[in-house]
Amino acid sequence: MRTWTRSIEPWPFVLGRELAGVFAIEEWSAVGGDGMVRFRGRLLVDPEAALSLLTPRIEPYGYVPMIRSPEEITLIRFQPVSPGATAAWKGWPLNLALFLATLLTTLFVGAIMEGAQPFADPSTLRLGVPFSASLLLILGFHELGHYLTARAYGVQVSLPYFVPLPLPPMGTMGAIIRMR
């Protein structure tokens, strides 16, 4: 079980001290009300080395470092991680219901694209399987990439929510996941 270090010192100063030898701070800001802290400045080592040095320093405080270098200025963002950051499994019935609805709508659209009349003869839904399977596999693997990346960084994330759309040409509006 993880434990998080707490300090009576303001978080930006505690986290800023952990950047010593890795990052030269020019300015910092607390972003939003969720505890995220952003530092702006210059990396003193390459980004990969910075991430490998900062991660073990910052994790005990319950944060995950994220580095972005748009130009010469680098942004380091510390995203708070809630204890036990895991997938939000308690909402899985909704995820499953939306997936099944999306499966049905994409089957209908696929069958209609094949020239069938699935409303008159539901057995023609099988003609929509190639369209539905290919579309849902693409969406599923795309969202799986977001899910696995978020989990690797310790970010709380939900299972994918597939969004059905009963109208052609797609049968779906895509899929989303919730990140906290």
pLDDT, position 88: 46
Kindly list the domain boundaries of the chain, sorted by start residue. Answer: 11-80, 89-176
Helix (H, G, I), strand (E, B) or coil at 47: helix
Q: Is the dihedral of CA 7, 55, 30, 16 positive or negative?
A: positive
Specify the fold of 11-80: Gyrase A; domain 2 (3.30.1360)
Q: Is there a contact between 70 and 92 (Cβ–Cβ < 8 Å)?
A: no
Average pLDDT value for residue range 128-132: 95
Average pLDDT value for residue range 18-29: 83
Q: Is there a contact between 79 and 36 (Cβ–Cβ < 8 Å)?
A: yes
54 CB burial (10 A radius; 0-12, 13-18, 19+): buried
pLDDT tens per residue across span 83-118: 444 444 567 889 999 999 999 999 999 999 999 999
Average pLDDT value for residue range 7-36: 72
pLDDT tens per residue across span 141-153: 999 998 888 888 7
Q: Is there a contact between 113 and 177 (Cβ–Cβ < 8 Å)?
A: no
Q: Is the pLDDT of residue 41 over 60?
A: yes
With a pLDDT cut of 90, the percent of the chain lying above it is 31
Cα distances from 129 to residues 54, 79, 96, in angstroms, run: 48, 41, 19
DSSP 8-state code for residue 29: E
pLDDT, position 4: 46
